[in-house]
């Protein structure tokens, strides 16, 4: 009963204090070291280049959301994907320090002259965590499943290139060949997204059409040993609302230079907490090993560092982007009501109107106040954290209310006697912005936005919805005027094609267009396709830079700010290498417990 109440996000605050006491009590007692199974190393085992370490230790993390599924074909959210990534591997992976694609289950690859055929050699001798051998059949099985019409999933779109699904065939036990309809340069990057599934486990369910029911949260609770993978860990136990415990996979294919099979840690535990605040409190009181820290909490958390031997690392700008946008979708709903009132649609589709709005928002002030000076202005659709692809030379819109009014006047807007802004037809300018509840910075940004807009004579109403309702409204019903949201960032811009392309599902302001509706959207489509077909990195960067220029000029998304990312990590962990982007414990298999200082 109580647990049910706690799981409701808004009640969470109430229980922060209680849970603290609870955790203090529940954390006593040492966990016995793990008895490791001995198995032969695979023929193609990868030898880690880092310092060899010692077995042992428990790494504890916390998360405010828990996985909704453990099936990669079902997973849509970051939390499920992260849990799946602990026990499944892809063919390739992105190395965040080297900033390039490196082999995972594929040992090597060859790209044909016409750039359309990729032949992959698989790692020999790799075994699944239940001891069965891993072969090309598993790869073929996985791709067959994800292109199966019975199992709709998000990879299907990602792996459809120029309208054609990627073709795949088995050449021999350890070789597969992929063919794309057109040359596709991010192929190696995107092919690593899907975790390869064990054919011997899922074949029966696949044939009976029940693949999507496999590996659910229920499986995790009752029989976690059914999660068979090639990743560094396997699931030991899962308690919803409490924790998930992973233990090392005894058949993992990576070893250190002394021939010890990775990973070093005995257990990896992720605790489920009510909110970000709890996570920070747990970290600052030394109860978890790692936590991301918001800019406002950095000073406070650092105060406790000597007590619990941790360090708060500055990671530079965050990788995600945050923005406001206006609905530019023409047409009407099934009920015959236009998505946006025609005179408002006229404002929202006006470039100068959008530019004026961004000029009118005091983002510099927000950085100074809400973000404690630990953030920077965002000017482009790709975060400055992504140094390779970010274009620093795009049009910028600093806080300048005079310039904003000037731009509005050029578009025929005028201030009336009461200080209200009216358009050329005499309509008073006012709109409503939706945002999601449940984070403390959003209301501060939006109330500042509201005040700033009032200075321009614009009336803004703000409505808070829960995240699911907001997403449904902007992506399915389209009945809204403005909204605020964010995207997490990936390494290669090809991960953002659903946002950039006019036909994209996440082309928020006017999604899934059959034909690009404006010249600039057509131009962006061209640039995206061009960048995907070019194999020369510099040329690709050039296209992506041009694309960012168009976005910043047209401003379909009004960028807000990029907070700096901070991460707290206990000092006792060795081999930690913090990358500019992505998870801090990306090399979790290489982390080991150093000597207590």
The smaller minimum CB distance to other proteins, of residues 42 and 295, is found at 295
The residue from 124, 388, 463, 505 that contacts other proteins (CB under 8 A) is: 463
The rounded distance, in Å, linking the Cα atoms of 42 and 89 is 16
Cβ distance 71 to 228 under 8 Å?
no
Contacts 24+ apart (CB under 8 A), 106-110: 107/44, 109/188
Minimum gap (Å) between residue 24 Cβ and other proteins: 17
Binding of residue 461 to other proteins (CB under 8 A)? yes
Binding of residue 292 to other proteins (CB under 8 A)? no
Minimum gap (Å) between residue 16 Cβ and other proteins: 8
Sign of the torsion formed by the C-alpha atoms of 131, 134, 139 and 141: negative
Contact range with other proteins by CB under 8 A, out of 25-33, 79-87, 128-136, 366-374: 366-374
Binding of residue 8 to other proteins (CB under 8 A)? yes
The rounded distance, in Å, linking the Cα atoms of 100 and 257 is 22
The residue from 124, 177, 374, 403 that contacts other proteins (CB under 8 A) is: 374
Q: Binding string to other proteins for residues 318 to 357, with x set by CB under 8 A, is what?
A: ----------------------------------------
For residue 208, what are the contacts with CB-CB under 8 A and spacing of at least 6? none
The rounded distance, in Å, linking the Cα atoms of 337 and 154 is 31
The smaller minimum CB distance to other proteins, of residues 276 and 329, is found at 276
Measured CA to CA in angstroms, residue 57 lies from 32, 204, 258, 463 at distances of: 10, 38, 19, 47
Residues in a beta bridge with 179? 117, 167
The smaller minimum CB distance to other proteins, of residues 127 and 322, is found at 322
The smaller minimum CB distance to other proteins, of residues 346 and 437, is found at 437
The residue from 301, 318, 357, 576 that contacts other proteins (CB under 8 A) is: 301
The rounded distance, in Å, linking the Cα atoms of 15 and 23 is 12
Measured CA to CA in angstroms, residue 187 lies from 37, 154, 198, 533 at distances of: 37, 16, 23, 10
Binding of residue 466 to other proteins (CB under 8 A)? yes
The smaller minimum CB distance to other proteins, of residues 222 and 461, is found at 461
Binding of residue 13 to other proteins (CB under 8 A)? yes
Binding of residue 64 to other proteins (CB under 8 A)? no
The rounded distance, in Å, linking the Cα atoms of 507 and 524 is 12
* CA-wise closest residue to 440 among 241, 320, 280, 310: 280
* CA-wise closest residue to 552 among 504, 520, 517, 528: 520
* CA-wise closest residue to 487 among 265, 371, 325, 304: 325
Q: Binding string to other proteins for residues 423 to 452, with x set by CB under 8 A, is what?
A: --------------xx-x--xx-xxx-xx-
Q: Binding string to other proteins for residues 233 to 272, with x set by CB under 8 A, is what?
A: ----------------------------------------
Q: What totals of helices (H) and strands (E) does the chain contain, helices first?
A: 20, 27
Binding of residue 212 to other proteins (CB under 8 A)? no
Cβ distance 237 to 222 under 8 Å?
no
The rounded distance, in Å, linking the Cα atoms of 215 and 228 is 10
Minimum gap (Å) between residue 55 Cβ and other proteins: 35
Binding of residue 565 to other proteins (CB under 8 A)? no
SS (H, E, C) 556-595: CEEECEEEEEEEEEECCEECCCCCCCCCCCCCHHHCEECC
Binding of residue 401 to other proteins (CB under 8 A)? no
The smaller minimum CB distance to other proteins, of residues 362 and 554, is found at 362
Residues in a beta bridge with 326? 482
| Size of interface with other proteins, in residues (CB under 8 A) | 43
The residue from 6, 58, 217, 465 that contacts other proteins (CB under 8 A) is: 465
Q: Binding string to other proteins for residues 21 to 60, with x set by CB under 8 A, is what?
A: ----------------------------------------
Contact range with other proteins by CB under 8 A, out of 85-93, 337-345, 369-377, 499-507: 369-377
Minimum gap (Å) between residue 483 Cβ and other proteins: 14
The smaller minimum CB distance to other proteins, of residues 241 and 365, is found at 365
Contact residues toward other proteins (CB under 8 A) are 8, 10-11, 13-14, 16, 277, 280-281, 284, 295-301, 303, 362, 365-366, 368-370, 372-374, 437-438, 440, 443-444, 446-448, 450-451, 461-466
């Amino acid at each position: 009963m109580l647990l049910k109440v706690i799981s409701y996000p808004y009640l969470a605050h109430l229980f922060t204090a209680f849970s603290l006491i609870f955790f203090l009590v529940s954390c006593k007692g040492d966990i016995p070291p793990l008895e490791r199974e001995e198995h032969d190393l695979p023929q193609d085992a990868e030898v880690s280049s880092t310092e060899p370490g010692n077995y042992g230790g428990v790494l504890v993390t916390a998360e405010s959301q828990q996985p909704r599924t453990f099936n990669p074909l079902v997973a849509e959210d970051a939390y499920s994907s992260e849990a799946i990534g602990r026990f499944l591997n892809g063919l390739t992976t992105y190395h965040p320090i080297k900033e390039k694609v490196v082999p995972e289950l594929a040992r090597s690859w060859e790209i044909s002259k016409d750039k359309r055929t990729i032949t992959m050699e698989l790692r020999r001798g790799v075994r699944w965590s239940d001891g069965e051998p891993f072969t090309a059949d598993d790869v073929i099985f996985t791709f067959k499943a994800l292109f199966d019409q019975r199992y709709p999933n998000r990879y299907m779109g990602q792996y459809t290139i120029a309208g054609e699904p990627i073709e795949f065939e088995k050449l021999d036990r350890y070789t597969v060949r992929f063919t794309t309809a057109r040359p596709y340069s991010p192929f190696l990057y995107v092919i690593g997204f899907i975790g390869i599934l064990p054919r011997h486990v899922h074949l029966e369910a696949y044939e009976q059409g029940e693949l999507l029911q496999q590996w659910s949260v229920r499986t995790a609770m009752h029989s976690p040993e059914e999660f068979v993978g090639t990743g560094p860990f396997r699931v030991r136990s899962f308690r919803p609302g409490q924790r998930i415990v992973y233990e090392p996979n005894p058949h993992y294919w990576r070893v250190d230079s002394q021939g010890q099979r990775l990973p070093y840690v005995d257990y990896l535990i992720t605790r489920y907490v009510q909110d970000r605040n709890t996570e920070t409190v747990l970290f600052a009181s030394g109860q978890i090993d790692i936590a991301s820290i918001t800019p406002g909490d950095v000073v406070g958390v650092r105060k406790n560092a000597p007590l619990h031997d941790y360090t708060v690392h500055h990671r530079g700008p965050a990788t995600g982007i945050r923005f406001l946008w206006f609905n530019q979708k023409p047409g009407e709903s099934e009920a015959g009501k236009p998505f946006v009132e025609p005179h408002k649609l006229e404002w929202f589709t006006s470039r100068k109107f959008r530019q004026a709005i961004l000029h009118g928002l005091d983002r510099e002030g927000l950085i100074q106040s809400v973000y404690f000076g630990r953030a920077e202005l965002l000017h482009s659709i790709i975060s400055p954290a992504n140094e390779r692809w970010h274009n620093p030379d795009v049009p910028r819109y600093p806080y300048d209310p005079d310039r904003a009014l000037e731009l509005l006047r050029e578009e025929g807007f005028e201030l009336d006697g009461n200080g209200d802004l009216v358009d050329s037809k005499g309509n008073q300018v006012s709109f409503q912005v939706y945002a999601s509840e449940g984070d403390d910075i959003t209301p501060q940004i939006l109330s500042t936005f509201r005040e700033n807009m009032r200075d321009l004579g614009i009336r803004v109403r703000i409505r808070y919805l829960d995240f699911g309702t907001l997403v449904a409204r902007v992506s399915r019903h389209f009945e809204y005027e403005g909204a605020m949201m964010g995207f997490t960032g990936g390494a290669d811009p090809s991960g953002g094609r659903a946002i950039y392309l006019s036909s994209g599902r996440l082309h928020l302001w006017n999604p899934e267009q059959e034909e690009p509706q404006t010249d600039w959207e057509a131009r962006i489509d061209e640039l995206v396709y061009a960048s995907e077909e070019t194999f020369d990195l510099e040329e690709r960067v050039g296209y992506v830079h041009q694309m960012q220029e168009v976005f910043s000029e047209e401003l379909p998304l009004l960028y807000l700010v990029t907070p700096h990312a901070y991460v707290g990590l206990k000092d006792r962990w060795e081999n930690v290498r913090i990358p500019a982007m992505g998870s801090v414990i990306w090399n979790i298999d290489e982390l080991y417990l150093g000597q207590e200082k």
